[in-house]
């Protein structure tokens, strides 16, 4: 069972701003655990500030964790020294949100995409490989000597995708790769990602705030709120039978193309003015319509939901079912 787990995250916590034990910092990622099987795509969904980007960056070791482990193919990345980590970094690559700042403006597309394998191949082989990668991502290889600023946002994102697969990684973490793109371009990039995923059997962690996009591309989905995973399960299960009140609120809030369903009738989530409270209980307490006194005691743990296999929810209400 465990052999097919490419990625295992165990009790990962990242705290910002903790100076000493007296001053409690801000928990960007709070005791998060999940696994990713080989070839699977896990969607990580949440609103801004929920810690999903921090979680992604911590897994890929761009951010230091405060406690917990990240196991890639059984190797604990958190216990490695920087020099031990360096050769392993190629096995996990990230696609960033902003196509304008994720490419070095002074390098040609050829240099950018070939960077993962510089020094290993001759010039002809390098050009050949880069051409193949560009075509794979829907780019014209004739453009390889152009510079990033000569491309549109969607094309730049394709270049970023080509760069990430050039390193031949096992795991790809896509951090909001389509959020800054137009609807029609978004569709193109998502299709590219999906076809690459299928043809290269990539394992992917897809981070986004857009539920519809996550639904399209992921097999499993995890919902994050203020540093905690509040619900996780198979895509169909989670979207059709959301368990956690926050998941339900999120799904209700998404504007869908259905003129009969007027968005301005939605009122079930309260104002977020007093969001940053210091209580030690459920992070969703202040906004939850179902809250009880017990919810304040401790952060609810993810427990299996009665109905579906693999569908877990971190809500006291769920325990009682």
Partner 1 sequence: MPLDIKNISASFHLRGSVVHAVRDISLSISQGETVGIVGESGSGKTVLSLSLLRLLPSPPAVVKGKALFDSFDLVNCPDRVIRSIRGNRISMIFQDPLSSFNPYLRLSDQLTEPLLCHQSISRKEALQIATDMLSQTGIKEPHKKIHCFPHQFSGGMLQRAMIAMALVTKPGILIADEPTTALDVTTQAQILSLMKTLQQKYSMSIIFITHNLGIVAGFCDKVHVMYAGMILESAETVSLFKNTSHPYTKALIRSVPSLHATVDKLYVIGGPPYDPSQPLKGCPFAPRCEFSVAECFEEKMELTEVAPNHFTCCSRIKKGEISL
Partner 2 sequence: MKTKSINAGNSLWREGMQRFLHNRLAVSGLVFLLFMITLCIAAPLLTSYSYESQKLSSGATSPGASHLMGTDVLGRDLFTRVLYGGRVSFSVGLCATLVSVVIGVCWGSVAGWCGGKVDSVMMRIVDIAYAFPFTIFVIILMVFFQRSLLLLFMAIGAVEWLTMARIVRSQVMALRHQEFIDAAIGLGLSHPKIILRHILPNITGPVIVYATLTIPAIMLLEAFLSFLGLGVQPPASSWGILIREGTEAMEEYPWLLLFPGAILSLTLFSLNFIGDGLRDALDPKSSRE
Name the site residues for partner 1 (rule: CB under 8 A): 47-48, 152, 182-184, 186-188, 190-191, 194, 209, 211-213, 215-216, 235-236, 239, 249-267, 269, 271-273, 275
Q: How far is the CB of 126 from partner 2 (least distance, A)?
A: 10
133 binds, among partner 1, partner 2, none (CB under 5 to 8 A by kind): none
Q: How far is the CB of 121 from partner 2 (least distance, A)?
A: 13
How many other β-carbons are positioned within 10 Å of the β-carbon of residue 123?
Answer: 9
Q: How far is the CB of 78 from partner 1 (least distance, A)?
A: 30
Contact present, 173 and 161 (Cβ < 8 Å): no
153-166 and 123-136 are packed helices; what angle lies between their axes, rounded to 10 degrees?
A: 120
308 binds, among partner 1, partner 2, none (CB under 5 to 8 A by kind): none
Which SS3 state, helix, strand or coil, does residue 152 take?
Answer: coil
Using CB under 8 A as the binding rule, whether residue 246 contacts partner 2 is answered as: no
| C-alpha to C-alpha distance for 275 and 47, rounded to whole angstroms | 13
Using CB under 8 A as the binding rule, whether residue 68 contacts partner 2 is answered as: no
H or E stretch including 235?
helix 235-240
Using CB under 8 A as the binding rule, whether residue 123 contacts partner 2 is answered as: yes
Indicate if the alpha-carbon torsion angle 137, 143, 144, 148 is positive or negative: negative
H or E stretch including 44?
strand 41-45
**Contacting range for partner 2; rule: CB under 8 A; set: 20-28, 99-107, 204-212, 243-251:** 99-107
Contact with partner 2 (CB under 8 A): which of 72, 94, 178, 202?
A: 94
């Amino acid at each position: 069972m465990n052999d097919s787990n490419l990625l295992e995250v165990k009790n990962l916590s990242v705290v910002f701003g903790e100076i000493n034990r007296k001053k409690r910092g801000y928990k960007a990622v709070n005791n998060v655990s999940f696994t990713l099987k080989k070839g699977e795509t896990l969607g990580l969904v949440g609103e801004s500030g929920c810690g999903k980007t921090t979680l992604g960056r911590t897994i890929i070791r761009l951010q230091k964790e405060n406690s917990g482990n990240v196991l890639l193919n059984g190797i604990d990345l958190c216990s490695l020294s920087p020099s031990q980590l360096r050769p392993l970094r190629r096995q996990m690559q990230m696609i960033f949100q902003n196509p304008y700042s994720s490419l070095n403006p002074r390098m040609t597309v050829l240099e950018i995409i070939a960077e993962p394998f510089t020094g290993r191949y001759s010039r002809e082989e390098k050009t050949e490989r880069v051409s193949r990668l560009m075509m794979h991502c829907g780019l014209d290889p004739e453009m390889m000597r152009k510079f990033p600023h000569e491309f549109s946002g969607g094309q730049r994102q394709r270049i970023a995708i080509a760069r990430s697969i050039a390193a031949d990684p096992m795991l790809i973490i896509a951090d909001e790769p389509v959020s800054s793109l137009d609807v029609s371009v978004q569709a193109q990039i998502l299709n590219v990602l999906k076809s690459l995923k299928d043809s290269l059997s990539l394992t992917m962690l897809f981070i986004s705030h857009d539920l519809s996009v996550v639904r399209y591309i992921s097999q499993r989905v995890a919902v994050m709120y203020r540093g905690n995973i509040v619900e996780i399960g198979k895509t169909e299960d989670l979207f059709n039978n959301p368990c956690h009140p926050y998941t339900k609120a999120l799904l209700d809030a998404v504007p869908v193309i259905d003129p009969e369903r007027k968005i301005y009738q939605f009122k079930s989530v309260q104002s977020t003015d007093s969001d940053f409270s210091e209580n030690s209980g459920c992070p969703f307490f202040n906004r939850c319509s179902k809250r009880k006194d017990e919810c304040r005691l401790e952060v609810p743990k993810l427990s299996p939901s009665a109905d579906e296999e693999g569908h877990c929810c971190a809500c006291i209400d769920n325990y009682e079912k």
